[in-house]
């Protein structure tokens, strides 16, 4: 199987992490690779080391209004 886009390894090899709402990032030479980029554009060849970072999504605070506070 030939993989030429960054997002394909994510969906193929990290389905469990994606199902639990994790963030998958690939980093090459200190730069985060973007899904829309091809491996050729990033100059990624055989035997290249790419780092993978898996993190939990941060919970964003909700904008709940406190009814006891004046508006």
Span 4-54, pLDDT tens digits = 666 667 888 899 999 999 999 999 999 999 888 888 888 888 898 999 999
Does the residue 33 lie in any domain? Answer: yes
Report d(CA 25, CA 62) in Å as an integer: 26
Q: How much is the pLDDT for 8?
A: 65
Does the residue 61 lie in any domain? Answer: no
Does the residue 14 lie in any domain? Answer: yes
Does the residue 41 lie in any domain? Answer: yes
Please state the φ and ψ torsions of residue 12, each to the nearest 5 degrees.
Answer: -80, -45
For residue 43, the enclosing domain spans 7-56
Q: Tokens for 41?
A: 């554009």
> Where is pLDDT greater, at 46 or 71?
46
> Where is pLDDT greater, at 31 or 58?
31
Does the residue 1 lie in any domain? Answer: no
pTM of the model: 0.65
Contact 28, 47 (CB under 8 A): no
Does the residue 62 lie in any domain? Answer: no
Does the residue 63 lie in any domain? Answer: no
Q: How much is the pLDDT for 70?
A: 57
What total of structural domains would you count in the chain?
1
Q: How much is the pLDDT for 30?
A: 94
């Amino acid at each position: 199987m030939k993989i030429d886009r960054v997002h394909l390894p994510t969906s193929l090899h990290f389905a469990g992490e994606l199902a639990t709402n994790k963030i998958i990032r690939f980093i090459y030479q200190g730069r985060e690779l973007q899904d829309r980029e091809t491996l050729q554009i990033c100059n990624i060849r055989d035997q290249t080391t790419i780092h993978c970072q898996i993190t939990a999504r941060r919970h964003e605070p909700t904008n709940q209004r406190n009814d006891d506070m004046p508006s």
